[in-house]
Structure 1
Amino acid sequence: MIKKPRTKPSYLCQLEELDQRVPIHLPQKADIQKRLKNEKSGFKGELEVNYPLSFLPQQDFIILHGLRIKGASHYFQIDTLLLSRYLLIPLETKNFYGLIEFEDNGQFTRTGDSGKQEGYPNPLYQSMYHREQLQQFLKSNGWPAIPIYPLVVISFPNTIVRSSPKNREVIERVHHSAKLPFIIPHIVKQFPKPIIDDVQLLSLSN
């Protein structure tokens, strides 16, 4: 079940308001509109995940969208977190289009329609950071060591994902959103032993 619905980010709302207020002739206008376009695209990508997640067994998962959690030293953001008695699955949603490539040396690049190749932070590393921060958060709040299996979700179905065949990390953890109803039950089967009970699961989601 969805316990924390997805809402429009406050930063996106602020940019929309700012875009309406700033006159077209000011030099800051172009930068505002560029940021607004990127934020809208990112939010649209996150919304694309809602539909495939609706096919998961509602009784098996509690779904929290748009989590902002205070860690030991700073806040961290999780696009979507799936909670179950067996494990937690954080989803890092990316709205890249065109061709994205995970290199063996850890570099991550995107090639768009123009053919220009650009480098970006590797989303796999970002998902690993979230796993570490979430583990620390659970430990510091007295929760047992629940397995955490982060996934990177590509929201646009026509995005091409390329990596070396030996890069198991990409094969196992990077998926298009349409694959979520099939890959998530497969992942859960790898963790057959429940770590917490239903009462604890509800408490954790609270």
Structure 2
Amino acid sequence: MFIKQREVPSELKITRFLQHRMNWTEKETRQLVYDEKGFEGEVFVDHLIEKFPDDNYLAIGDFLFEFNSSYAQIDTLLLMANKLILFEIKNKEGDHYYEEGKLFTASGYELKSPFEQSDRAEALFRKKLQSFGIKIPIDSYILFVHPEFTLYQAPMTIRKLVLPTQLNAFFKKLEANLSPVSRKQIDLSQKLLNFHQPDSPFKRLPNYTYEELKKGLYCESCTNFSLSPSDKKIVCQTCKHEESIKHAVLRGVEEFHILFPNHKITLSRIKDWCRLEISDRSYQHVLSSNLVVKNHGRYSYYILAEKTYRKV
């Protein structure tokens, strides 16, 4: 089973929101598409691993660690009975070719080498384990998961490379080598979880302020800013999608909090952010019923309870 489930990276959550609220450059759009595809590829591999019997494996999704002020990310870490397996996951598509340890597009453009990424992460991880006296074999694999990815000139000697047509056989072989999880594996998994760094130093976000972002709620179905209240519901005037007032306001609260985690959640601020044509009483009811109020009266504000969070 996954002892740490993969979550949507905070950077991806933020850029998903920002694309609707500020002028988006072509470069930023390309980066968002790249990040979305990368996340989709990682989730795809999660689903393959989750087909294994729960009692026969432990896995960690999106494992970020630090050693001697250097950071490395492992897309998926799989704990086997007698070794650790590190996965570098790529969701690229189209024709590519391999030459002297480097990866190129069909047009000859050199891409960031997944082989160097994988080697660096493995080397740093090995040093991290050694510094804590943990001795266990490590295998690393680069998984290309998109069905329309083709790699030419790749030598048979690249042991760590798994191409799309090899994925099913690769995971069947892994499953055949699984055995029931031991107490030793559980203890090791807890140590590894303690190595995980929740905040990535690699975030690439555009600069933005509250004042410059477009206000109002957009439709969660068609993303148009055309929501209106109708018979105790919020209805999109473009695609006619409906949601409850509670759902719409909490969606706005969550987006506001993710974009501006250091700003207080107040009635006036959420009204300005959501700009729904509903009464103050409706806003207040949703906030007081689903968030935790701090102070009272003129200086009151709200904080999110853990149960308030939804998957974004």
- For normalisation by structure 2, the TM-score amounts to 0.55
Distance 2:81 2:75 in 1: 20
Extract structure 1 runs of 4+ deviating beyond 6 A: none
In the TM superposition, 1:90-101 aligns within 5 A as: 90-101=86-97
Out of 96, 118, 126, the position equivalent to 2:109 is: 118
Say whether the 8 Å CA contact 1:94–1:155 is kept in structure 2.
yes
Give, as a single letter, the amino acid of the residue that structure 2 aligns with 1:135: R
**TM-fit CA distance, 1:148:** 0.5
Say whether the 8 Å CA contact 1:101–1:110 is kept in structure 2.
yes
Distance 2:41 2:154 in 1: 25
Distance 2:153 2:78 in 1: 26
Q: What is the root-mean-square deviation of aligned Cα atoms in Å? A: 2.2
1:107 and 2:96 matched = no
Say whether the 8 Å CA contact 2:64–2:71 is kept in structure 1.
yes
1:154 and 2:154 matched = no
Residues 182 and 102 of structure 1: CA distance in aligned 2, closer, same or farther (over 3 Å): farther
Say whether the 8 Å CA contact 2:88–2:142 is kept in structure 1.
yes
1:178 and 2:168 matched = yes
Out of 183, 186, 204, the position equivalent to 1:202 is: 186
Out of 153, 164, 169, the position equivalent to 1:163 is: 153
Larger Rg: 2
* Greater relative CO (CA pairs within 8 A, separation 6+): 1
Give, as a single letter, the amino acid of the residue that structure 2 aligns with 1:48: F
Give, as a single letter, the amino acid of the residue that structure 1 aligns with 2:161: V
Give, as a single letter, the amino acid of the residue that structure 2 aligns with 1:134: F
Distance 2:57 2:145 in 1: 21
How many pairs does the alignment contain?
186
Residues 164 and 64 of structure 1: CA distance in aligned 2, closer, same or farther (over 3 Å): closer
Give, as a single letter, the amino acid of the residue that structure 1 aligns with 2:93: Y
> Could you list the runs of 5+ residues in structure 1 that have no partner in the other structure?
190-196
Say whether the 8 Å CA contact 2:97–2:154 is kept in structure 1.
no
- For normalisation by structure 1, the TM-score amounts to 0.81
Say whether the 8 Å CA contact 1:53–1:180 is kept in structure 2.
no
